[in-house]
Amino acid sequence: MTTGFGRMLRKEDQRFVRGQGTYVDDVHLRGMLHGAVLRSPHPHARILSVDTVAAEAHPKVKAVITGETLNERDLAWMPTLAGDTQAVLATDKVRFQGQEVAFVVAEDHYSARDALELIDVEYEPLPAVADARRALDDGAPLVRDDHPGRTGNHIFDWESGDAERTDRVFRDAEVTVSQDMLYPRVHPAPLETCGIVADFNRVSGKLTVWATSQAPHAHRTLYAMVAGLPEHKIRVISPDIGGGFGNKVPIYPGYLCAIVGSMITGRPVKWMEDRSENLMSTCFARDFHMRGELAASRDGKIRAVRVTVLADHGAFNGAAQPTKYPAGFFGVFTGSYDLEAAHCQVTAVYTNKAPGGVAYSCSFRITEAVYLVERMVDVLAFELGLDPAELRMRNLLRPGQFPYTCQTGWVYDSGDYPRALRLAMDMAGYEDLRKEQEAERARGHLMGIGVSFFTEAVGAGPRKHMDILGLGMADGVELRIHPTGTAVLRISVQTQGQGHETTFAQIVAEELGIPPGDVEVVHGDTDQTPFGMGTYGSRSTPVSGAATAVVARKVRERARIVAAAMLEVDPADLEWERGRWFVRGDPDSGRTITEIALAAHSNLELPDGVEGHLDASCVYNPPNLTYPFGAYICVVDVDPGTGKVDVRRFIAVDDCGVRINPMIVEGQVHGGLADGIGMALMESIVFDADGNCLGGSFMDYLLPTSLECPSWELGATVTPSPHHPIGAKGVGESATVGSPPAVVNAVIDALRPYGVRHADMPLTPAQVWRAIQGRPFRTDLAIT
Amino acid sequence: MRVAVTVNGTEYARDVEPRLLLIHFLRDELGLTGSHWGCDTSNCGSCVVWLDQRPVKACTVLAAMADGRSVRTVEDLERDGRLDPVQQGFIECHGLQCGFCTPGMMMTARWLLDRNPDPAEAEIREVLSGQVCRCTGYENIVRSVRWAAEHAKDAG
């Protein structure tokens, strides 16, 4: 009997290891032209004139598109996923360095880039605001003077929790701690940059685009809304995607320019941004200035958490999250703890920086929330002189409290938190590590042990509460069973490396008892798949994975009717075992799903009202999010002379419910842990005071390599989700969310002899070195 | 200018601009899209191919510099319908996710194994440290190369 779940090698690897993947830049169409974007060198400047005459005279240039060209088509501005507007090509001002100003279409990529230099733009530079903390000052440069009547850079205030109740707990608490911290601006930086091939057929009126999109259906609908094209004439194909991490959720100006370029020239137009364009203009992540406060008893019972946030959204509010949640799911800042009260207040502002904010495997800003609360727990442990693992263990939710409604209203579906933390501590040899640390400190060595515990909330919707631009977050699926019993599954979500072609086949295999190899998974093509909101926020398994199980069960029920007709029994007398229906009490009388599939297409007489065939479809509207969780422990050594941090060990225990393919789950976790090393120690998009971006290449924006990453030590517990058909939870972002605080907590723990309580990411050698300057090394500061 | 480059055993002669990068020559002129372009600055290594038996980052080599020399790309790893053990290792050990860095990683790994058939983990990490993977956290890439070392003869 075929088992669907378990370790299975990936189907998609066969093409990738042969170099036969088809990424957007690999798409080559006959007569294809190439686009390039002219970008602003200024963070903030008025555009006085754009002269394209010389560029248009370039012998290989086919079209030059400016904001004015787009204005004629009412396309100079487009809606963002957060309901704001964003300039496609600037008409009035440029608002961040790297903003799109003009687009050249030429016969080849090199000529297109050459022609950019022939465009003469006259700018009047304006003062810029690059620091969110200055954005609300009187007299701060006004970023969005395109909004009628606007006088300042304020975007929204959003709060969650009970302010009064929280204040009350803080007033009578024995201990309170407060800490300011920055989650720096970082970038998902998938190795494949963003791009598109747009092919508008003037005869048929059909627009076909191959795009780096994590949400092809949503993109199709938005193109229809923005460009006024009929939606049935738009086909969005997301072929192989070289990593997404949220970077490929939004629609970027270059996409629209390429589409307009194809409409103007009548030829396909390819546009692939280069690395600097990717880092400087597309969806960044974080940039949250946070103040965290905890109220606790002296013996270490955490009672309340209070947070104020200043969120830097850049020049356009292009954050991608469900409409009702302007700060994403930051409301889960209550973490994994049993609290009496919680409150947060988020204020968002415009600055002269690139737009975005919600990306980089952040689970709609749970990354920021988990970092905040896990850093604060360590700050409290520091103040109370308690072991941070012990402090967590005392405050974690207990298994009997689930489903647990947290102080901000999120309903955690299931969990056994103490078991996960205990397992991580056992794997790490926690108590021995503390002894070793004591001995190291006595020798003047800086060894740090960092603990973090996270709870995630992933798998958006339900659509009643969650939509993007009015599109409800529910996903469709279709399952066809061919007469010979093999299957084609069409899903709305789209892989960027997560292995959907394998795991979704395994779900069908598990439910129907046919080999996963007999299930072809079709995705990433809006003409071939049903509507859905796409892959981000770890939602593929919680939403489309559930849809797949449900549709397979529908097929199974259809098969039951056919099997009953074949066996001439009542359907109610049949029982299912994996792969076949059989007569209850007579196991030898049964029909396999393959036999039933053929019969369903045959001349077998079926009861009145039964159509035949086994194909089915469904739309899955999740009843709740799924809440994966985990306990992470990081061990570091810090060189006090240079400030360099070496990650010696990283222990990660993840609980994502039932694991469809443990090999793939572990791979997802590995990747997220590397992200955590990157964000905690290396990655940051820095701007100077004038708004110049100092992180525009991989020379400046440092990514972790095989040398910065240790050999990961993984553990697992399995607490099924009670509301998911197969008990699975999302896992794609767990480690990215959970690991940065473990690394930072480890570094700060290493610096304990200097009395350092906090230092902001990224903890580069310079940052660590600065943190300990002027502080004497004292062995009496160790945890007792 | 005219360049003649032997790629995967076949000589290709083309008229190209002197500034044409080797990665674009391979991808756009020859249609060998297995090697990828990722950063422009020699940092990510998605474009690693062999130039005269040595791994190079083809985003910072001119096609003109490859004139009269030989290039080997990912498309040449599979021979006579048999996958190179490195390719098989990446499949067996889940050494790839999105697959974008994979060809470059495999070309460097094959180069390493040709020089040291039994590299320790630390050496593998050192040799691959000039290349970036955003998906795997490197663990399974290291395991994949070890798998290839341990199965030097039996892939396919």
Quote the CA–CA distance of A519 and A487 in Å, as a whole number: 5
| SS3 state of residue A594 | helix
- Per-residue model confidence (pLDDT) at position B154: 63
Of the candidates A400, A397, A457, which has an alpha carbon nearest to the alpha carbon of residue A421?
A397
Amino acid occupying residue A455:
T
Residue of A nearest to B136 (CA): A671
Q: What is the CA radius of gyration of chain A?
A: 28
Mutate to test the interface with A, among B24, B75, B138 (most CBs of A within 10 A): B138
Question: Using DSSP, how many helices (H) and how many strands (E) does chain B show?
Answer: 5, 5
pTM of the model: 0.97
A13–B24: do the CB atoms touch at under 8 Å? no
- Per-residue model confidence (pLDDT) at position A185: 98
State the nearest Cα–Cα gap between B139 and chain A, in angstroms. 6
Q: Which residue has the tokens 């200055």?
A: A134
Residue A90 has pLDDT above 90, yes or no: yes
Choose the weakest-confidence range: A212-221, A561-570, B146-155.
B146-155
Quote the CA–CA distance of A487 and A559 in Å, as a whole number: 14
- Per-residue exposure over A656-691, b if at least 16 CB sit within 10 Å of its own CB, e if not: bbbbbbebbbbbbbbbbbbbbbbbbbbbbbebeeeb
Torsion of CA A126, A130, A134, A137, to 10 degrees: 30
Mutate to test the interface with B, among A706, A711, A736, A739 (most CBs of B within 10 A): A706
Residue B58 has pLDDT above 50, yes or no: yes
Q: How far is CA A420 from CA A77, A405, A552, A670, B129, in A?
A: 49, 20, 32, 18, 33
Choose the weakest-confidence range: A244-248, A347-351, B149-153.
B149-153
B73–A697: do the CB atoms touch at under 8 Å? no
B134–A190: do the CB atoms touch at under 8 Å? yes
Count of Cβ atoms closer than 10 Å to residue A366 Cβ: 29
Residue A783 has pLDDT above 70, yes or no: no
How confident is residue A782, by pLDDT bands cut at 50, 70 and 90?
A: low
- For chain A, what is the largest distance between any 2 Cα atoms, rounded to a whole number of angstroms? 88
- Per-residue model confidence (pLDDT) at position A228: 87
- Per-residue model confidence (pLDDT) at position A63: 98
Mutate to test the interface with A, among B23, B57, B97, B123 (most CBs of A within 10 A): B97
How confident is residue B155, by pLDDT bands cut at 50, 70 and 90?
A: low
Looking at chain A, the whole-number percentage of residues with pLDDT higher than 70 is: 99
How confident is residue A38, by pLDDT bands cut at 50, 70 and 90?
A: very high
Residue pLDDT, tens place only, A12-22: 999 999 999 99
**Is residue A503 within 8 Å of A582, Cβ to Cβ?**
no
B78–A18: do the CB atoms touch at under 8 Å? yes
B83–A17: do the CB atoms touch at under 8 Å? yes
Residue of A nearest to B141 (CA): A706
Mutate to test the interface with A, among B127, B134, B146 (most CBs of A within 10 A): B134
State the nearest Cα–Cα gap between A700 and chain B, in angstroms. 10
CB-nearest to B135 from A13, A497, A709 is: A497
Count of Cβ atoms closer than 10 Å to residue A311 Cβ: 27
In sequence order, what E strands does A358-486 have? 404-405, 411-412, 446-455, 467-468, 471-472, 475-481
Residue A266 has pLDDT above 70, yes or no: yes
A vs B, Cβ pairs < 8 A, gives 178
A671–B97: do the CB atoms touch at under 8 Å? yes
> What average pLDDT does chain A have?
97
Q: Which residue has the tokens 């019972």?
A: A301
B138–A705: do the CB atoms touch at under 8 Å? yes
A712–B32: do the CB atoms touch at under 8 Å? no
State the nearest Cα–Cα gap between A245 and chain B, in angstroms. 9
Residue pLDDT, tens place only, A156-166: 999 999 999 99
Residue A611 has pLDDT above 80, yes or no: yes
Residue pLDDT, tens place only, B77-123: 999 999 999 999 999 999 999 999 999 999 999 999 999 999 999 99
Is ipTM over 0.95? yes
Residue pLDDT, tens place only, A49-77: 999 999 999 999 999 999 999 999 999 99
A499–B97: do the CB atoms touch at under 8 Å? yes
Residue pLDDT, tens place only, A458-476: 999 999 999 999 999 999 9
Residue A502 has pLDDT above 80, yes or no: yes
Residue of B nearest to A732 (CA): B135
State the nearest Cα–Cα gap between A21 and chain B, in angstroms. 7
Residue pLDDT, tens place only, A122-179: 999 999 999 999 999 999 999 999 999 999 999 999 999 999 999 999 999 999 999 9
Quote the CA–CA distance of A377 and A338 in Å, as a whole number: 13
A12–B134: do the CB atoms touch at under 8 Å? no
Half-sphere exposure of A308 (CA within 13 A, CB side): 6
- Chain A residues in contact with B78 by the CB 8 A cut-off are 18
Residue pLDDT, tens place only, A534-590: 999 999 999 999 999 999 999 999 999 999 999 999 999 999 999 999 999 999 999
Q: How far is CA A432 from CA A427, A437, A449, in A?
A: 11, 8, 11
- Chain A residues in contact with B102 by the CB 8 A cut-off are 16-17
- Per-residue model confidence (pLDDT) at position A784: 42
B134–A16: do the CB atoms touch at under 8 Å? no
Residue A713 has pLDDT above 70, yes or no: yes
B130–A705: do the CB atoms touch at under 8 Å? yes
Residue A1 has pLDDT above 50, yes or no: no
**Is residue A532 within 8 Å of A539, Cβ to Cβ?**
no
B125–A707: do the CB atoms touch at under 8 Å? yes
B129–A706: do the CB atoms touch at under 8 Å? yes
Choose the weakest-confidence range: A309-313, A358-362, A426-430.
A358-362
CB-nearest to B139 from A21, A499, A712 is: A712
- Per-residue model confidence (pLDDT) at position B14: 97
**Is residue A685 within 8 Å of A279, Cβ to Cβ?**
yes
B140–A670: do the CB atoms touch at under 8 Å? yes
How confident is residue A633, by pLDDT bands cut at 50, 70 and 90?
A: very high
Quote the CA–CA distance of A17 and B32 in Å, as a whole number: 14
CB-nearest to A19 from B24, B75, B133 is: B75
Torsion of CA A331, A335, A337, A343, to 10 degrees: -30
Mutate to test the interface with A, among B100, B102, B105, B121 (most CBs of A within 10 A): B100
How confident is residue B153, by pLDDT bands cut at 50, 70 and 90?
A: confident
- Per-residue model confidence (pLDDT) at position A227: 86
